[in-house]
Chains A and B, each alone.
Chain A
């Protein structure tokens, strides 16, 4: 399958999927993030790296509609409408967008799953929400996605509470991708998982992002995750973007003092 960043003849998609200008957010007098601008194109993975307090989670919350932006603008390329200012959308339109076009993978799987219903129901819910009414087809779709995220099919009727952390996270991913979103927000998707489990999850994400041509905004403090998944990086410190560019270039040739500090602090195994 053709990766969505470039067409076969090398020409590039013209319209960004997400266009952010001058985005800022303050918690009262406390700075969350300041003056963030970027364009994200279909099929691109943008990594936002930084340490605690860098503003990366605030930025993600503003982008994904969970916080209203303090100032600045966010434009999204809505199917059939072109680049639309999200601030102009009603709450209902925004919620429809979040359900149909977007996915959000939370750091803690519990925040992104319904713990009281089975794995199959978790995956099927989005389909049922957009009108799927055939039980057999919904279940088949759920089985298909369980296979794609490498969860054994016989767990389909089990509650997520009985799953390991890594499995819960993979279930969350399946739940978010079943409705074929174009844009996915991920907040530390491998945080808190065992290393071998992380590797499996990252491999899965890499494959799915490429196969489905997803655009992703990925927040992580782990540079190895950023290198593996992201095409581009933005390095944040104290609410500001201090450096941005091609992932391997930012990690191999960091220019900003903070970027250099971050890269040099990573322990080698």
Chain B
């Protein structure tokens, strides 16, 4: 029997209306549907500007779609991220849906180790255990220990991205969204990220990702979702 999807997108449409330009509307996609089951990794495919990042953000409820549903498994229920209240969305993000953005959002004064450990601590994990796991992830991603106690603001782009990735993998989310996780990484670290994604798949996570790097895409994804052909009427 096929397992139920962990993520199910139904007839999703998104456009942006820019009021400063007299209400200019930019349609991004219209009528998208897709589903992702446990252990699957769907790679979003399409040229630059086709809406891959927009779709990912809409899945995370960071963008509000015009129409349609984004159903995410949360405990025993399915929550529609497109219409859920803010606190329901936050609850889903805390427990069920992880997100690795393209760039680390830097908060002043917070050391890298705490940045990575925070999602686990927020769930009630013992802070020491959470930091141990954070340390292990940072080590795997080759962030030197002397950097752990520093806020990432002064790190290089690649270092910041690795902190971002470590944070995204610090909790074993049932569903995971990855936006260009290997951009600005060298070969060694790209390989490690690939390992992390495969391990997540192994434990049953459902993943949606944007991978420009063909090698990574080949290695980790189980299917490709072409945004442009999946659009119905523009």
Binding site for B on A (CB under 8 A): 1-3, 5-6, 8-12, 41, 44, 199-200, 202-203, 206, 210, 228, 231-232, 245-249, 252-253, 255-257, 260-261, 264
Contact = CB atoms under 8 A, between A and B. Distances in A.
B56 to A, nearest CB: 12
B24 to A, nearest CB: 12
Interface string B89-100: 111101110000
A264 B109 CA distance: 26
A137 B218 CA distance: 64
Contact of B20 (A6, A206, A247, A261): A261
Interface residues of B, number: 30
- Nearest first, the 5 A-B pairs at minimum CB distance are A257-B19, A6-B91, A199-B108, A10-B75, A246-B86
Contacts of B222: none
A16 to B, nearest CB: 10
Contacts of A247: 86
B124 A6 contact: no
Contacts of A200: 109
Interface in B38-91: 57, 61-64, 74-75, 77, 86-91
Contacts of A1: 124
Contact of B110 (A6, A11, A203, A264): A203
Nearest to A264: B20
A10 B96 contact: yes
B88 A12 contact: yes
A199 B64 contact: no
B95 A260 contact: no
A2 B19 CA distance: 41
A210 B122 contact: yes
B139 interface: no
B74 A253 contact: no
A5 to B, nearest CB: 5
B180 to A, nearest CB: 17
A220 B228 CA distance: 41
B230 interface: no
A252 B63 contact: yes
A218 to B, nearest CB: 14
Contacts of B62: 248-249, 252-253
A10 B91 CA distance: 6
A3 B89 contact: no
Nearest to B96: A10
B61 A6 contact: no
Nearest to A198: B108
A245 B63 contact: no
Q: Which of B19, B20, B74, B89 has the most CB of A within 10 A?
A: B19
B63 A203 contact: no
A247 B90 CA distance: 10
Given A1-B124, A203-B107, A246-B86, A255 B17 contact: yes
A170 B230 CA distance: 54
Nearest to A228: B107
Given A1-B124, A200-B109, A203-B107, A6 B90 contact: yes
A231 B86 contact: yes
Nearest to B17: A255
Most buried by A among B20, B61, B86, B109: B86
B61 A246 contact: yes
Contacts of B86: 231-232, 245-247
Contacts of A206: 107
Contacts of B20: 257, 260-261, 264
Contact of B87 (A8, A228, A231, A255): A231
Given A6-B95, A260-B18, A253 B64 contact: yes
A203 B91 contact: no
A186 B16 CA distance: 33
B19 A260 contact: yes
Nearest to B110: A203
A96 to B, nearest CB: 29
Contacts of A41: 87
Interface in B143-159: none
Contact of A245 (B17, B64, B110, B122): B64
